[in-house]
Amino acid sequence: MMNVYLTEPIKIQKPISLSDGQGGHPKNYADVAEVKAMVEELSGRELFYAQQLRAEVTHKVTILWRSDIKNNMRIIRADSSILRIESVLSKDRGGFTATGGFLEITCVEVKTSED
């Protein structure tokens, strides 16, 4: 069993479409949740295997299981860096069920709020 330390506060956001009053719909985000997470920058073998799923993956984020996290969302870290969610996997660690365990989220760090 792997030790999971959920100590970093993160904000999870979903994309929303708002009218700009001129026929456009700029991409905005709304908060879904503020949770504690374990955020790991991937390197070496872990990075290699994660990139077999998605070529750009740079981070793995672990949170307590939730049903409302999707691939089109993003994570805002305490230092204001932005992680675009690429995949969400349920993990059973230490006897937890799929609804009582963890989510392992692979992400790509983006440089601006435009992702």
Segment holding 52, helix H or strand E: helix 44-53
**pLDDT 10s digits, 32-42:** 999 999 999 88
Structural domain spans, the chain = 8-110
- pLDDT, the chain, mean: 81
The mean pLDDT value for 21-25 works out to 69
Query: Which of 61, 57, 48, 109 lies closest to 83 in space, CA to CA?
Result: 109
The verdict on domain 8-110 having CATH code 3.30.565.10 is no
Q: If you average pLDDT over residues 73-93, what whole number do you get?
A: 90
Q: Which pLDDT belongs to residue 1?
A: 42
Question: Tell me, what amino acid is at 48?
Answer: F
